[in-house]
Amino acid sequence: MNRKWWKEAVAYQIYPMSFYDSNDDGVGDINGIIQKLDYLTSLGINTLWLCPLYQSPNKDNGYDISDYYSINPVYGTMADMDELLQRAHEKGIKVIMDLVINHTSNEHFWFQESRKSRDNPYRDYYYWRGPKNSREPNNWAAFFEPSAWHYDQRTDQYYLGVFSGYQPDLNWENPKVRKELYSMINWWLEKGIDGFRLDAINLISKVPGLPDNESHSNERYVFSHKNFVDGPRVHEFIREMREQTFDHYDVFTVGECGYITPEKAKLYAGEVGNEFDMVFIFEHTDYYKEHGKDIKKLKEIISRWQTELHGEAWTGLCFSNHDLPRIVSMFGDEGRYREESAKLFAMFLLTLEGTPFIFQGDEIGMPNTYYQSIDAYRDISAFKLYNRLKKEGLDEESIMKQVRVFSRDRCRTPMHWENTKNAGFSRVRPWLQVNEKQMTINVEDNLRDPDSVLHFYRKMIDLRKKNPALVYGEFVLVQTDQEGLFAYKRRLDEDEFFVVMNLSDQKKTLITRDFSKGCNILLSVYHDRGVLEKTSGMPFITMMLRPYEAVLMKLL
């Protein structure tokens, strides 16, 4: 397998709006990130993924860009951005930006021109179609709104926006669009950024003719990925983009390709594929979204991806991000075993093959936040859900129950730096309410407590950076007959590591012969974990694991 710096990286995802507010306007900013660089260095991470900082009306918190060449003033200036890059680089931290090029904002100049008239030179930068039977051109549903088509009176046509009307889809079939995007990408690369996370990038090619989605009911709008995910020209477009941009720089790209299988990941991020350097895995989190927590399935999905992609393709790993619930709330325990499960998932994330991405706040084990009233919410997807359920006639409390579970605001709350007003994030009321009850979970207290989640992350990051087997080693699943247990080895040359995790809140027992020559415990969720001893006369070891206990060992 080819060794690369970005395979060995430990990345940290910053949601700038909620990271640190340096100028008292209630919104995080670039200077805030600069001020926290020492904190990030001490955590041990060496790559930052910055969620969108570009000029944007922020209808979808920056995933609706109105000018790719400027910084949203709420975050600072281009000079601040340059300073961040320079300061991060001085500390050996690489910086990757979010690249949102499936769509722009409806306030982008191209779209503003495009909507002026049917023969405007920019018309074909987007998808415009006339009504069909006095209705939308097809039955596609949008992610954040009922229909993916949005009517514009000015020219009596609809435009396509598969996320929302604020996010019109760019027409990648038009070579002019691609050329403009490549110039913009090169402009950023010339600035010295170290790569990109490509947003919703497997949506850029749509099935020609934009046919209706298959419908099994009489619903007016049908949600399906079939006609716009992994479309017919997607690989051609990505390769062309790569050749004209990334290939000329020592940078890395991570594709956000939802709904893919390991087979497809090999096409997008194969070792010899010439597309992206890595793609995020979402099968485990997508499964959660549909079916809720299922430990058996989580184990199965992770093992399958680890085994099938070894030596063939590289992935970006995350258990949470700005779209997902917090790790402890999704796969762990946000109550009694919050700290234990937060540590367990730190070990899980950092002992797998693939580049780990830590979402801000997970390093202190922040749980989800739930608000009582819809007024507290800011997420565009929460409003879609709220309005739909309202239309269906549900009562307020039942609606809010669902909004609390599904709104992406649950994980987007301001970072807890201290147990003071507004969690030390800002001196004024933040753009999204801090959960007062959770402020006891904060960086300052975590730094003080040697047994905290934060210190656990530090140790785990350090172990990963020092042991190439945790990055490149083969993943070998260890069979256990207990459902809550997950055990695997990572093997590279002479080095062999053993990870065992109890993903449940019940005691579990591991019986294994794998420690025949003995082992060293490198890190454990419960600090009083003793050395393992063989039962005399028996060839195996019996190991009792407490709720959410996880242990990393090096085999002798």
| Catalytic residue IDs | 199, 256
Work out how close the CB of 261 gets to ligand TEU at its nearest, in angstroms, rounded to a whole number. Answer: 12
Nearest alpha carbon to residue 9 among 35, 37, 48, 41: 48
Taking CB under 6 A as the criterion, the residue among 258, 262, 316, 354 binding ligand TEU is: 258
Which one of residues 60, 136, 496, 514 is an interface residue with ligand TEU (CB under 6 A)?
60
Q: Give the position of tokens 């920056």.
A: 62
- Residues 82, 286, 300, 505: which binds ligand TEU (CB under 6 A)? 286
| Exposure of 425 in the CB half-sphere (CA atoms within 13 A) | 29
Task: Please list, in sequence order, all residues whose beta carbon lies within 8 angstroms of the beta carbon of residue 436, skipping any fewer than 6 positions away.
Answer: none
261 counts as binding ligand TEU under rule CB under 6 A? no
187 part of the interface to ligand TEU, by CB under 6 A: no
Within 467-556, residue ranges assigned H as helices are: 468-472
Cα(422)–Cα(435) distance, rounded to whole angstroms? Answer: 9
Binding piece for ligand TEU, criterion CB under 6 A, among 152-160, 255-263, 296-304, 393-401:
255-263
* Separation CA 99–CA 185 (nearest Å): 8
Does 259 bind ligand TEU (CB under 6 A)? Our answer is yes
**Is residue 16 a contact partner of residue 54, using CB atoms and an 8 Å limit?**
no
548 is a contact residue toward ligand TEU (CB under 6 A): no
Q: Tell me: does residue 169 bind ligand TEU (CB under 6 A).
A: no
Report the site for ligand TEU in 370-399 (rule: CB under 6 A): none
Q: With binding defined as CB under 6 A, does residue 496 bind ligand TEU?
A: no
Residue with tokens 């995007």: 181
Closest residue to ligand TEU in the complex (CB): 258
Specify whether the CB–CB gap between 255 and 242 falls below 8 A. no
Told to check if 145 binds ligand TEU by CB under 6 A, we report no
Binding flag, residue 276, ligand TEU (CB under 6 A): no
Nearer to ligand TEU, 59 or 343 (CB): 59
Distance CA 277, CA 309 (A): 13
Instruction: Candidates 80-88, 253-261, 428-436, 512-520: pick the segment binding ligand TEU (CB under 6 A).
Output: 253-261
Residue 162 CA to residue 496 CA, distance in Å, equals 46
* Sequence-separated (6 or more) residues with CB below 8 Å from residue 283: 260, 261, 301, 305
Q: Which residue's entry shows tokens 């680890």? A: 306
What percent of the residues of the chain are helix, what percent strand, and what percent coil, each to the nearest 5? Answer: 35, 20, 45
Q: Which of 282, 319, 357, 425 binds ligand TEU (CB under 6 A)?
A: 282
Shortest separation between residue 164's beta carbon and ligand TEU, angstroms: 8
> Binding residue for ligand TEU (CB under 6 A) from 100, 234, 399, 400?
100
Is 200 among the residues that bind ligand TEU (CB under 6 A)?
A: yes
Instruction: Please report how close the Cβ of residue 338 comes to ligand TEU at its closest, in angstroms.
Output: 25
Half-sphere exposure of 60 (CA within 13 A, CB side): 26
Q: Choose which of 19, 63, 237, 359 interacts with ligand TEU (CB under 6 A).
A: 63
Residue 31 or 61: which CB sits closer to ligand TEU? Answer: 61
323 part of the interface to ligand TEU, by CB under 6 A = yes
Q: Quote the distance between the C-alpha of residue 354 and its chain's center.
A: 14
- Kindly tell me which of 285 and 435 has the beta carbon lying closer to ligand TEU: 285
Helix count (H) and strand count (E) of the chain? 17, 20
At 135, give phi and psi (nearest 5°): -130, -170
Supply the minimum distance, in Å, between the C-beta of residue 202 and ligand TEU.
8
Nearest distance in Å: CB 487, ligand TEU: 28
Smallest distance from ligand TEU to CB 260, Å: 9
Cα separation of 310 and 211, whole Å? 37
Specify the stretch interacting with ligand TEU by CB under 6 A; choose among 254-262, 426-434, 518-526, 534-542: 254-262
Residue 40's φ and ψ, nearest 5 degrees, are: -65, -40
Segment near ligand TEU (CB under 6 A); pick from 256-264, 347-355, 510-518, 541-549: 256-264
Between 143 and 526, name the residue whose CB sits nearer to ligand TEU: 143
At position 255, the amino acid (one-letter code) is G
Please identify which residue in 256, 334, 409, 549 interacts with ligand TEU, judged by CB under 6 A: 256
Could you tell me how many residues make up the chain? Answer: 556
Q: How far apart are CA 16 and CA 149, in angstroms?
A: 30
| 454 burial level (CB within 10 Å; 0-12, 13-18, 19+) | buried
Q: How far is the CB of 267 from ligand TEU (least distance, A)?
A: 16
Residue number with CB closer to ligand TEU (102 or 504): 102
Binding site for ligand TEU (CB under 6 A): 60, 63, 100, 143, 163, 199-200, 256, 258-259, 282, 286, 322-323
